[in-house]
Amino acid sequence: MSSEPAAVTISGVSQVFNPGRPNEVRALDHIDLTVATGEFITLIGPSGCGKSTLLRLIAALLPLTGGEVKVNGKQADQARLDRDYGMAFQKAGLFDWRTVARNIELPLELMGWSKTDRRRRAREMLDLVKLGDFAGNRPAELSGGMQQRVAIARALSFSPSLLLMDEPFGALDEMTREHMQAELLRIWAETATTVVFVTHSIPEAVFLSSRVVVMSPRPGRVADIISVDLGTRQETTRESEAFFKKVTEVREALRAVERLS
Amino acid sequence: MAAGGSQTIVEEQADNLVEEQRALQARGTTDRAKEFKAAARRVSVFAAFLGFLALLYSAYRALGRALDHAQADWPIIGSFLPRSDDLAMPPIGDIVAGIGATQRGTGRPLGLLIAGEALSTLREAAIGFVVGAVLGLAIAIVLERSRLLERGLLPYVIGSQTIPLVAIAPIVVIWAPQSLDGLPWTWTGWMSVSIITTYLTFFPVAVNGLRGLQSPRPEDVELMRSYAAGWLPTLWRLRLPASLPYLFAAFKIAATISVVGAIVGEISGGVNGGLGRRILLEAQRYTTGPERLYVAVLGAAATGILVFLVISLLERLAIRGQKGVL
């Protein structure tokens, strides 16, 4: 690895909601995690393990109550202000009063890009996610998978070095989901973006990432980190022996977590 | 290759999706023609409804007449039903003729006079509506900004509407010219009526606008925050567009009550030149021509319907492709 700072450095992060009140909740407990630049990492764990909370702390969408989160060597909030990351949620979250192209242009507008630059970039991004024909459509006219692709195009439109994804394919049917996973890996390879990806699905985590972070609930902790080395992913990868072995490994790690709690 | 098989299936699926969406796109071009047809249908339904009302009215008159004849035999039933003689319910023909009947003194038909008066009332209503809408939206934006202000001020906003209009109107008409004489223009009566319609408009706009500004999903707000967008860009690019369906629902309510409010304001404030004055006059000389009051009331109804239609049209222009709440 080069001497440039890691994409994400999480050190000693503990997150407490409603501190000092009767409904105080310790969501995260002493999390340490480093994500290398260009890496694809997934966070997996049962509900309530704080994986979404951890993602929101990297995005500086929540005030941090303990520890330190750095993105590209900067404090997370500074990275947010510098627009170092793009984000995609479980719901595509497209603005239905804007066309598909204008949804992708939204972050560019906020960054003061000129109209011609915005138009050109929106077109490039639509080609990247293979939706070139739908620039003028309304989000409501697109299928769930297509909407999610628009959301990814929007998140990547300003070429952030980091992409944060919170169960973006959670609401899609299985075939669309597998298709989207392949698409995401292709885009990841083409754009050389670092990805932190939250999911509930074990095969999804194994198929997508180079490392799977298994988290345990109440309070959220890192229980295990499983490296996945399956080479360049193809559709055959899903049916390979090595893939099943990794799926089993992650599943057993999750079972161990459940036994503990 | 085994992989080839599964990949093709996935791609075929994607192709099917693309085909489906193309069909949807093609459908979009015929939407305009469909919209026109739908509008034509609505107009004919409305006309049929008006005809039905006229029929009902005439049928009740006929029934009343029959009962009047029978009154000698059954006095109880005869006096129990609302009266339906020509004074209480002038025939439809008289009302229609009344629209064109020339008025003594002016030499112009009543319909034209009322149209002019409706225009005057419309001006009071429209100015008050615009000022009230701006004021209401400003209040909604301030209340959305601060939870504390929302809790502190909203009760007063609601409380302001508990004062009856007929009580406020004379106060405004007396108070406004005296208190606002520093203005660069001379204060005339109709401006006082506009204050009343402002007061009626700002409330639904403020309350509904606040709900609309608060309507974006938490993820939408998080998304804007992830782009490091501040309060103003978030307001302009997320909260305001999201609130448009709510605002237009409020505008429709506000526009129609502005017209009614302007008429009531004219009557209780003693302001001349509008529909309020006309209704008062025709009520006073009712016995010499009941159809004239009916014409005046129809004029008021038409004015209310007109402003509703104008707002609906604006709504269609402002929120294309977005589903309205009404």
| Nearest-CA distance A151 → chain B (Å) | 11
Across chain B, mean pLDDT equals 84
A83 touches chain B (CB under 8 A): yes
Give A238's contacts in chain B (Cβ within 8 Å): 6
Dist. CA A208–CA A41, nearest whole Å = 8
Which range among A182-186, B20-24, B89-93, B177-181 shows the weakest confidence by mean pLDDT?
A: B20-24
Burial grade of A161 (CB within 10 A; 0-12, 13-18, 19 or more): middle
Instruction: Please indicate if any CB of chain B lies within 8 Å of the CB of A138.
Output: yes
With CA atoms as reference, the chain A residue closest to B217 would be A93
Q: DSSP readout, B192-224?
A: HHHHHHHHHHHHHHHHHHHHHHT-S-HHHHHHH
- CB atoms B17 and A91 under 8 Å: no
The pLDDT assigned to B44 comes to 92
Report CA-CA distances (Å) from B51 to A87, A125, A261, B111.
58, 57, 73, 20
Sign (positive/negative) of CA torsion B279, B281, B283, B287? negative
B93-140 pLDDT, tens digit each: 888 888 888 887 788 899 999 999 999 999 999 999 999 999 999 999
Which of A89, A97, A233 to mutate against chain B (most B CBs within 10 Å)? A97
- The larger pLDDT score, comparing residue B38 to residue A113, is at A113
Distance in angstroms (rounded) separating the CA atoms of residues A193 and B289:
83
- In this predicted structure, the answer to whether residue B76 has a pLDDT above a threshold of 70 is no
Q: Which residues have CB under 8 Å from B127's CB, separation 6+?
A: B191, B194, B197
CA distance B265 to B246: 27
How would residue B259 be classed by pLDDT, with cut points 50, 70 and 90?
very high
Q: Which of A66-75, B10-19, B152-161, B264-273 has the lowest mean pLDDT?
A: B10-19
Is A142's CB within 8 Å of B21's CB? yes
With contacts defined as CB-CB under 8 Å, which chain B residues touch A96?
Answer: 321-322
- Is 90 exceeded by the pLDDT of residue B311? yes
At B211-230, the pLDDT tens digits run: 999 999 998 999 999 999 99
Q: A93, B21: Cβ pair inside 8 Å? A: no
Kindly identify which residue of chain A lies nearest to residue B237, measuring between CA atoms.
A106
| Residue B188 pLDDT level (bands cut at 50, 70, 90) | confident
Residue B6: pLDDT band (50, 70, 90) is: very low
Contacts of A169 in chain B (CB under 8 A): none
Q: Pairing relation of β-strands A25-35 and A8-17?
A: antiparallel
**B228/A81 Cβ within 8 A:** yes
Contact B10 A235 (CB under 8 A): yes
A191 neighbors A124 (Cβ within 8 angstroms):
no
Inter-chain CB proximity B220 and A95 less than 8 Å: yes
Q: Which residues pair with A44 in a beta bridge?
A: A199, A214
Using CA coordinates, name the residue in chain A closest to B9. Answer: A175
Residue B5 has pLDDT above 80, yes or no: no
User: For chain A (length 261 residues), average pLDDT per consecutive 10?
Assistant: 76 89 88 93 90 93 91 92 92 91 95 94 90 91 90 91 92 85 89 92 93 90 89 86 92 86 65
**Predicted confidence (pLDDT) at residue B22 exceeds the cutoff of 90:** no
Nearest-by-Cβ selection for A175 from B13, B220, B321: B13
Residue B303 has pLDDT above 90, yes or no: yes
Please give the residue that has the higher pLDDT: either B23 or A60: A60
pLDDT for B30: 63
Taking CA–CA distances from B224, the nearest residue in chain A reads A107
- Residues of chain A found within 8 Å of residue B242, distances taken between Cβ atoms: 95, 97
Kindly determine whether residue A178 and residue B10, on different chains, have CB atoms separated by under 8 Å: yes
Tokens of B273: 């030149």
Q: Which of B10, B220, B237 sits opposite A93 (nearest CB)?
A: B220
For the segment B273-290, what is each residue's pLDDT rounded down to a tens digit?
Answer: 899 999 999 999 998 889
Tell me: ipTM over 0.90. Answer: no
Closest residue in chain B to residue A236, using alpha carbons only: B3
**Residue ranges of A 10-49 with Cβ closer than 8 A to chain B:** none
DSSP letter for B101, please.
Answer: P
- Closest approach of B193 to chain A, Cα-based (Å): 37
